[in-house]
Amino acid sequence: MSILPKNEPHKPAGTPRNFFIWGQTMSGKSYLAEHFPNVLVLNTDGNSAMGTRPSIQLRNVRNPDGSLKSSVIDQLQEVILELGTTQNTYETVTLDVIDDVCQLIEQAICLKAGVESLADMGYGRGYALFNTVLQSLVMDLKALPINVVYISRENDFTDDDGNTKTVPSLKTKYYNVVNGNCDLVIHTQHVGKNYLRNVTEIRRRYKASEINDSKILGILKAIPNALAPEVQTTKAGK
């Protein structure tokens, strides 16, 4: 039997599964993420007790002498393996926050190598190893049969012409890796008494009629511009 697919057009998957949510502290990022179905939170900022969903605290564990006992890299691999190979009821995994996950990965690499920074490993080996770990993490998460949500903070960026704009706080080179595997990027804001959400980047125009997950559809309906308008067709002669 051939492993090649049948050579015919097919309809692309209509339900987005990978999301990047960014915004200021207390702007509703984690609140929005908790509304995804059956969430497991991989937490870095120590506020897991404030949430309503089950969580795992991500961290590097050290020995009494300061050396690395167990790394966040191994911890993430174990969680992803269990999510993908065991029977469980989780439908969403959230990384809160991805900025800190990147810092923990860098710390783990440096502790294992016995250096202060990635640059100290020489010849770009530290940065190459970090990029490999991050890319593998993102691809392994994307391969899971569940929703993936990345949460990031925000920063103000001023360009060479003095123009300032608000951007995700995740470093650009890391953001490109993560965002390149996301379907929607959502910005949250707290303005007065209102919590606002808007789509800043989107892989393609999603239509409500194409989404086969009612829970994801419910979330997208509450976010302006997340869904494309349905094309109204009329019969000939009318």
Question: What is the CATH classification number for the domain harbouring 104?
Answer: 3.40.50
**Is 51 among the domain residues?**
yes
User: What is the helix, strand, coil percentage profile of the chain, to 5?
Assistant: 35, 25, 40
Give the span between the Cα atoms of 47 and 73, in whole angstroms: 21
Give the span between the Cα atoms of 27 and 15, in whole angstroms: 26
Give the span between the Cα atoms of 149 and 96, in whole angstroms: 8
Task: Compute how many other C-beta atoms are within 10 angstroms of the C-beta atom of residue 85.
Answer: 8
pLDDT at 63 over 60: yes
- Give mean pLDDT, residues 50-79: 93
Element (H, E) at 185: strand 184-191
Q: How many helices (H) and strands (E) does the chain have?
A: 6, 13
Domain that holds residue 191: 18-228
pLDDT at 144 over 80: yes
pLDDT at 237 over 90: no
Cβ–Cβ under 8 Å, residues 198 and 224: yes
Report which of 156, 176, 153 is spatially closest to residue 166, judged by C-alpha positions: 156
pLDDT (0 to 100) of residue 50 = 65
**Is 122 among the domain residues?**
yes
pLDDT at 125 over 90: yes
pLDDT per residue as tens digits for the range 155-188: 998 888 888 999 999 999 999 999 999 999 999 9
Give the span between the Cα atoms of 115 and 109, in whole angstroms: 9
**Is 140 among the domain residues?**
yes
Share the mean pLDDT of the chain. Answer: 92
174 Cα distance to chain centroid: 11
**Is 209 among the domain residues?**
yes
Count of domains for the chain:
1
pLDDT at 238 over 70: no
**Is 236 among the domain residues?**
no
Angle of the 125-142 helix axis to the 72-85 helix axis, nearest 10: 20
**Is 172 among the domain residues?**
yes
**Is 55 among the domain residues?**
yes
Q: DSSP characters for 38-106?
A: SEEEEE-SS-GGGSSS-EEE---EE-TTS-EEE-HHHHHHHHHHHHHHS-----EEEEETHHHHHHHHH
pLDDT (0 to 100) of residue 113 = 94
**Is 233 among the domain residues?**
no
